[in-house]
Amino acid sequence: MEDYRLRKTKQKFGAFWGNFGLPLIFIIMFAIFAISTPSFRSTYNFLNNLSFSSYVGIAAIGMTFVIMTGNFDISIGSMLSLVAVLGSSFIPKIGGAVGIISALLIACILGFLNGIFVTKLRIPAFITTLGMLFVFRALAFIYTNNVPVYISDRFWLYFGNGKLFDVIPFPILLMGVCYGAAYLLLRRSPVGRYIIAVGTNPRAAALSGINVDNIKILVFTLLGLFVGISAVTNSANLGSANPGLMGQDFEFQVITAVVLGGTALSGGNGSLGGSFIAALIVTFLNNGMGLMQVNSYWQMVATGLVMIFAVSLNKLKFFLLGQGEF
């Protein structure tokens, strides 16, 4: 009887933490920074942070899909840099609108290539994306000769600096649209069920008629698409695409957000809402430490500890829910 009660208590706590843990962490963190740094709680800073969080948050959608299939991609920082410099360099010839479409197509192709290497050539995702991390960054340097590409097209710049009703930054609106579409794909379509099935048990998914390789290629391609959107908004906000600076540590911020958000590295389980809140936590944490003038090296330490904490928290949650060992 006691074992049953203890098990039920663990499950209730695990369910509570799964639903409300991240919002509580965000509220506590926000309160601490708001009290210690008055400028942190200003409306301008809040909207600015929401806008900056869109870069990580949008890419986190695609990474959630990839990790849910039991894979991951550490090349997205370099991919973001390459897509940004290629797309923005096309602007003088084809204009901002077509340049954005070209950038997104390039991003999809790069993600598709990663998926092909992982599935058809059977190269582990870590090795594939580690290699592509260097390839994409090197191509960005070669293409630009390590010279930033400056952007003056108003349409492109609107994606990073535009405001709806002169209040809501456009990147926030774009992030909302992306999450809405991703939710419909994951929870209201057969593709979403296939992604979950492949991540839970690839062999059983294959036996049930699901083309496992195609689903994995699809999620890598979708990740490329969302990284492409982040590349456009990020370069638009900066007004340039710098091959050396863009995307630095981007992959680690995105993976941290996804894992902290509740997506299991083993695959099968994932939370888009969790990834969104975790992206806010990562962005607001860095901003808060910056306003408190915390040394940049200590900020890196904090980010690393948050990533370890995220994995441990995930394992604890699934253990309490009876879905794994701790």
**Number of neighbouring beta carbons within 10 Å of residue 134:** 11
Percentage of the chain beyond pLDDT 90 is: 56
**Cα–Cα distance between 80 and 225 in angstroms, integer?**
10
**Cα–Cα distance between 13 and 16 in angstroms, integer?**
5
**Number of neighbouring beta carbons within 10 Å of residue 226:** 26
pLDDT of residue 218: 98
Location of structure tokens 């941290």: 256
Secondary structure of residue 149 in the 3-state scheme: strand
pLDDT of residue 263: 86
Element spanning 127, H or E: helix 125-144
Specify whether the CB–CB gap between 56 and 282 falls below 8 A: yes
Specify whether the CB–CB gap between 317 and 19 falls below 8 A: no
CA 187-16-66 angle, to 5 degrees, is: 35
pLDDT of residue 314: 64
**Cα–Cα distance between 246 and 209 in angstroms, integer?**
41
Please report the sign of the dihedral spanned by the C-alpha atoms of residue 34, residue 305, residue 271, residue 171.
positive
Structure tokens at 240: 């340039």
Instruction: Please choose, from the candidates 273, 256, 96, the residue with its C-alpha nearest in 3D space to the C-alpha of residue 175.
Output: 273
Q: Give the predicted TM-score (pTM) of the model.
A: 0.89
**Cα–Cα distance between 139 and 84 in angstroms, integer?**
12
Specify whether the CB–CB gap between 278 and 60 falls below 8 A: yes
DSSP class of 147: -
- Helices of type H across 72-123: 76-89, 91-119
Q: What are phi and psi of 169, to 5 degrees?
A: -60, 135
pLDDT of residue 161: 86
Which regions in the chain score pLDDT beneath 50?
2
Burial class (CB in 10 A: 0-12, 13-18, 19+), 189: exposed
Structure tokens at 187: 């929870």
pLDDT of residue 39: 87
Q: What is the pLDDT of residues 98-157, one digit of tens each?
A: 999 999 999 999 999 999 999 999 999 999 999 999 999 999 999 999 999 999 899 999
Instruction: Please choose, from the candidates 48, 59, 21, the residue with its C-alpha nearest in 3D space to the C-alpha of residue 260.
Output: 21
